[in-house]
């Protein structure tokens, strides 16, 4: 028996939302991914007064990295060179980090794990924010090699 979708997830309207659902999807099961995301929005709605889509967009914005390190080989040595992250890669990294942090949580359904991670990320805490801070620290530590960037 099919479960009715509780929260309204607009289909095809927001490319960022569609990208997130596609990244959430496993083994080609998009309807399952949509249901998980709808349940996530319901959990966010019960836990906070803010609009669930605002929490989602704020979480993605908070996790978005501005710089990262790329390895560059110069005269036999490999240096970690800090570079700015292109906009498409910023979105891809933030989605990837939020989903991997949510999947790393144990003991509850995926919709609940994802809701907790999105709430944490919108409040500037959680594993995805820690990953962003680690990447930023690495870039700051290797600032001396910035002149090697192309």
Report the 10 Å Cβ neighbour count for 134.
10
If DSSP codes are grouped into helix, strand and coil, which group holds residue 124? Answer: coil
pLDDT value at residue 6: 54
Name 81's bridge partners.
70
Average pLDDT, the chain: 90
Q: What percent of the chain has pLDDT over 70?
A: 91
What is the C-alpha to C-alpha distance for residues 31 and 84, in angstroms, rounded to an integer?
A: 35
> What's the 3-state SS for 29-57?
CHHHHHHHHHHHHHHHHHHCCCCHHHHHH
Model pTM score: 0.88
Q: Which of 2-16, 35-49, 55-69, 135-149 has the lowest mean pLDDT?
A: 2-16
pLDDT (tens digit, 9 = 90+) per residue, 29-63? 999 999 999 999 999 999 998 899 999 999 999 99
Which residues lie closer than 8 Å to 143 by C-beta, 6 or more apart? 82
Q: Report yes or no: 111 and 48 within 8 Å, Cβ to Cβ.
A: no
Domains (range + CATH), the chain = 15-148 (1.10.455.10)
């Amino acid at each position: 028996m099919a479960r009715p979708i509780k929260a309204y997830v607009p289909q095809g309207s927001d490319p960022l939302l569609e990208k997130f659902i596609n990244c959430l999807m496993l083994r080609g099961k998009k309807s399952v991914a949509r249901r998980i995301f709808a349940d996530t929005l319901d959990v966010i709605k019960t836990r906070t007064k803010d609009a669930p889509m605002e929490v989602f967009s704020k979480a993605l914005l908070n996790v978005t990295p501005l710089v990262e390190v790329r390895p560059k080989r110069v005269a036999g040595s490999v240096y970690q060179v800090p570079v700015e992250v292109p906009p498409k890669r910023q979105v891809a990294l933030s989605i990837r980090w939020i989903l991997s942090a949510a999947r790393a949580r144990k003991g509850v359904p995926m919709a609940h794990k994802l809701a907790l991670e999105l709430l944490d990320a919108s409040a500037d805490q959680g594993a995805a924010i820690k990953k962003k801070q680690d990447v930023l620290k690495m870039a700051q530590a290797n600032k001396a090699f910035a002149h090697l960037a192309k």
